[in-house]
Structure 1
Amino acid sequence: MKPRHGHISESCRPISEVLSLIGDKWTSLIIERLHEEPLRFNALKRRVHGISQKVLTSSLRALERDGFLERTVYPTVPPSVEYRLTPFGHELAEPLSALKQFALDNADRMEAARTAYDARNAEGGTSGHQPQPIQPATMA
């Protein structure tokens, strides 16, 4: 099987995969909505504002494959499908909720830091030091 994330050490692969998953804005929103309650496809689409049907379908399949949600098909005409988080998915929802709260609690601090940074750089300075090239992080 080909590595999905380029050259990543085996010990970092699980971390990289989870960060890739939650780094996707749609996946995080889907998990947040399903943490509230199980939803049918169209109800979920309405609650995840701006997501396309194609992206929602793809995201749901990936979450199901990874074990975070389960899909139940009801024998109606036309068939209706409900999505719910598995216990594993609810475990993931908890740190996502904490991360969301962190972002909300610290939005003003981030904006202040950005404003200060932009002001320093607009003055032609970088606080007395030259920028250094960013080196790839290694997780050993």
Structure 2
Amino acid sequence: MKKEIICNSVGGVGCGLKRVLDLIGGKWKILILCAMDKYGTIRYGELRRVIAGITNTMLAQSLRELETDGLIRRTVYDGRPVRVDYDLTDKTEVLIPILLELQAWGEQNIQGPKQ
């Protein structure tokens, strides 16, 4: 039986894994997606409160990148003050089960901090 190769051109142009890491890599993007999956449509201030340790700069930058990459949707409502909601796109809803698998693997294989 032939072993399936994750990526023929490891890190190269055709590497799908590298493309995924380019989209959701880094310290905050997966946590933002997890928060949005848990709470559904959410506003900036709520995200800031539920993601421990994220700065305003990192949250704003990550949200812009996630929106540009089509992983989240930003909806602006007229009014005073202007209201902005964020939610997951259909493309990201398909990604959530994969993130849950990564979470389960981490819980089973990586020891957490000592209490």
TM-score (norm 2): 0.79
Please state whether the residue corresponding to 1:10 is helix, strand or coil: coil
How far the C-alpha of 1:70 sits from its partner, in A, is 0.3
CA contact (8 A) 1:70 1:85 kept: yes
Please state whether the residue corresponding to 2:91 is helix, strand or coil: helix
Please state whether the residue corresponding to 2:86 is helix, strand or coil: strand
Give matches, 1:22-61, under 5 Å.
Answer: 22-36=24-38, 37-61=40-64
CA contact (8 A) 2:23 2:69 kept: no
| Structure of greater relative contact order (alpha carbons < 8 Å, 6+ residues apart) | 1
CA contact (8 A) 1:74 1:80 kept: yes
Structure 1: 4+ residue segments shifted above 2 A: 20-23
Tell me which structure has the larger Cα radius of gyration.
Answer: 1
Equivalent residue for 2:91?
Answer: 88
Equivalent residue for 1:16?
Answer: 18
How far the C-alpha of 1:43 sits from its partner, in A, is 0.2
How far apart are the structure 2 equivalents of 1:100 and 1:21?
A: 18
Unaligned runs of 5+ in 2: 1-10
How far apart are the structure 1 equivalents of 2:67 and 2:97?
A: 18
Compute the RMSD of aligned alpha carbons.
1.9
CA contact (8 A) 1:32 1:97 kept: no
How far apart are the structure 1 equivalents of 2:99 and 2:76?
A: 27
Please state whether the residue corresponding to 1:98 is helix, strand or coil: helix
How far the C-alpha of 1:20 sits from its partner, in A, is 3.4
How far apart are the structure 2 equivalents of 1:54 and 1:80?
A: 19
Unaligned runs of 5+ in 1: 1-7, 112-140
Q: How many residues align?
A: 102
Percent identity between the aligned chains?
35
